[in-house]
Structures are given as C-alpha cells and as structure tokens.
Structure 1
Amino acid sequence: MLKVSNLFVNYGGIQAVRDVSFEVKAGEIVSLIGANGAGKSTILKTISGIMRPKSGLINYNDRAIQNASASSIVAAGISQVPEGRHIFSGMTVQENLEMGAFLHKRSESLTSTFDEIFSQFPVLKERRNQDAATLSGGEQQMLAMARALMARPKLLLLDEPSMGLAPIYIQRVFDIIQMIQSQGTTVLLIEQNAKQALSIADRGYVLASGEIKMTGTGDELLANPQVQAAYLGGA
C-alpha cells in the first residue's frame, strides 16, 4: 500500500531524515519507534504532504505522492492524527468532526459516517454539542482520531497518540487503534511508547538519528536485547 524509498528530508537546515526506506502493507499496523528527535514526525509530515522531501520516493497504491498537495493526499485516502491533537477550540465536538469530513459531498454519506463514528466513540456522541476545548486530554485524543476517520481513510497516520495521557486513556487509545485495524483501515503508528506500540504492531522499524537501524515483527523487536536496552527499560 505505502512504500517509502531512499527518503531524505531537511528540517530547518538540518538533515532530519537520511535514506529511509520502509513499507506498509494493506491491513497492517506498522510502528516506527525511536527517541524524541529521531525523525519520526518528519516522516509522517512528509508522507501527508505537509513537508517536502529533499529526495526519495513515496508511493501510495502505485502512485508517487512525494510532490502531491496535502489535500489531494487526503482525497486519495490518507489521513493524519497530529502530535498534540490540535483540536479546534471554540468549536463543538460535532463541528470538529465536520472539519474532518470536508471532502464529503453527499449529506446522506456524512450522516452514515457520523453514525459509525459515534458508535465507535460514544463519549463524543454524549459531548457532541460541547466546546472541544473543555474535553479531557484523553477525550481530545479520541476526538482527533475520530476527526481523521471522518474522511474514511484507507491509511491512518498516527503521531504519538499516547503522549501526555493518563494510563487509563493510553490503553484505551491502543484498543481503539486495534479496532480501527480490525475494521479494515491500515495504520502507520509513530510512538515513543515502544512497548505498547510494538505489542500491537504486525511489523516495526527502529529509527535513530534520522535513519532506520532495525526492523522486524513487533514480537521480534520486543524480544531484541538492543531494543529492550534502548527503549523498553531493559538491562
């Protein structure tokens, strides 16, 4: 579904991503793990068209998208949940969700999408007329994920979805990610919480200093002594 080849990206004059290659197959959860500043978010922003690569290829369903506009990438079926959630304060939960559905042309299709979202996120249905800024951090994260799903993506990009959340919401977020996958959406997950990310991943890649250093299944990386020492609190 997604194939990134020999990607180089500069960020503020610094080479943030160096010769990165990886792939995401349809139906998978793939995790990119690494320390803060490893280049994870830069990769996601480049895939979604927010940043431009210095060189390299990004192929999505056999179409090169590295120079495509962000709006056309969303239209093609890729949605991103940004780090820090970035919900729209001063707007209700429902209005935030409507912003995620701006590509929908038919009202009946939009109604069906709302029904699906509210069945997946019942707390948002309860708070649909509430200012999104008044939600808890965990509820705001659910809103950010639901807003991205309003576009009916085939590939969902998640940037640090557990950051800053209480433990009860962290588990809920990872449960939701697995639910999203089970309903047919492919997921590329960027996380500092390596243990949680790898525990639900079909495959993972370890990123350090802008380069991929290691790859394997989620279970293989969880069992790897180097990964344990660097990211899982192992000896």
Structure 2
Amino acid sequence: MLKVENISVHYGMIEAVKNVSFEVKAGEIVSLIGANGAGKTTILRTISGLVRPSQGRIQFEGKPIEKLVPQKIVASGLAQVPEGRHVFSGLSVMENLEMGAYLVKDKKKISETLEMIFDRFPILAERKNQDASTLSGGEQQMLAMGRALMSQPKLLLLDEPSMGLAPIFIQEIFNIIQEIKKQGTTVLLIEQNAKIALSIADRGYVLETGNVVLKGSGKELLASDEVQKAYLGG
C-alpha cells in the first residue's frame, strides 16, 4: 500500500532523514520506533506532503505522491493524526469531527462514519457539544483519531499517540488502534513506547539518527537484544 524508497530530508544543512526505505502492506500495523531526534515525525510529515524530500520516492497504492500537496494526499486515502493532537480549540467536538470530513461529499457516508466513531469513542458522543480544548489529553487523542477517521482513510498515520497520556488511556488508545485495523484500515504508527508499539505491530522498523538500523516482525524486534537494551531497559 505504501512504499518509501531511499528518502532523505534536509532542514537547511541538517540531514534529518538519510536514505530511509520501508513499506506498509494493506491490512498491517507497522510501527516505526526510535528515540527523540531519530527522524520519525519528519518521515510522517514527508509522507503527508508537509515536508518535501530532498531525494527518494514515496508511492501510495502504486502512485507517486512525494510531489503532491497535502490535500491531494488526503484525498487519495491517507490521513495523519499529528503529534500533540492539535484539536481545534474554540470549536466543539462535533465541529472538529466535521472538519475531518471536509473532502467527503456523500452526506450518508459522513453520517455512517460519525455513527461508527461515536460507537467506538462513546465519550465523544457524550461531549459532542463541548469545546474540544476542555477535553482531557486522552479524550483529545480520541478526538484527533476520530477526526482523521472521518476522511475514511485507507491508511492512518499515527504520530506518538501515547505522548502525555495516563497509563489507563494509553492502553485504551492502543486497543482502539487494533480495532481500527480489524475494521479494515491500515496503520503506520510512530511511537516512543517501543514495548506497546511492537506488541501490536505486524512488522516494525527501528530508526536511529535518520537511518533504519533494524527491521522485522513485531515479535522479532521485541525479542531482539539490541531493542531490549536500547528501548526496553533489558
């Protein structure tokens, strides 16, 4: 579904991502793990069209997207939940969700998707008229995920969904990610919490200073001595 080939990204003279290649197959959860500064968020921003690669190719469903503007990439079936959630304050929960469907023209589909999201995130239904900025961190993360799902994506990009959340919310969010996969949405997950990210991943890649240094199934990486020492306190 997604093929990233030898992408490099520069911020001025700094090379944030160096010849990174990986792929995501339809129906998978793929996790990219690594420490702060490893280039994880830059990779997602590049896939989403928010940053231009200095070299390399990105294909989504066999078509190149590395030169497309972000709204064309969203329209092709790819949506991102940004790090830090970034809900629209001053707008209600319902208005935030409606913003996610701005490219969807079919009102019946919008209504069906909204019903599915309220079923999956009942707290959002309870608080649909509440200002989004007054939600807790975990509730805002659910809203950001719901907003992305309103565009009915084929591939969902998640950037650090556990950041700043209480443990009870972290487990709930990762349970929901697995449910999203079961219902047919492919997931590319960027996450510092390596243990939980790899435990739900079909496959994973480990990034260090802009390079892919390890890859394998989620189980293989969890059992890897290198991953244990670097990320799991082993």
TM-score category, normalised to shorter length:
over 0.9
Matched, 1:40 2:37: no
The 5 A counterparts of 1:53-132 are: 53-132=53-132
The 5 A counterparts of 1:101-180 are: 101-180=101-180
CA offsets 1:148-180 (integer angstroms, 9 cap, x no match) = 000000000000000000000000010010000
Q: What is the TM-score normalised by the length of structure 2?
A: 0.99
2:141, 2:213 → 1: CA distance? 30
2:50, 2:106 → 1: CA distance? 27
- RMSD, aligned α-carbons: 0.6
Residue aligning to 1:16: 16
Q: What is the TM-score normalised by the length of structure 1?
A: 0.99
Identity of aligned residues (%): 67
- Structure 1 residue runs of 4 or more that deviate by more than 4 Å after TM superposition: none
- Residue 45 of structure 1, CA deviation: 0.2
2:23, 2:85 → 1: CA distance? 25
1:182, 1:13 → 2: CA distance? 42
With 78-87 and 12-21 compared, the bigger mean Cα shift is at 12-21
CA offsets 1:116-169 (integer angstroms, 9 cap, x no match) = 111111110000000000100000000000000000000000000000000000
CA offsets 1:155-207 (integer angstroms, 9 cap, x no match) = 00000000000000000010010000000000000000000000000000000
1:12, 1:109 → 2: CA distance? 43
Look up the equivalent residue of 1:38 and give its one-letter code.
Answer: A
- Residue 13 of structure 1, CA deviation: 3.1
- Residue 11 of structure 1, CA deviation: 2.2
Gaps of 5+ in 2: none
1:18, 1:42 → 2: CA distance? 11
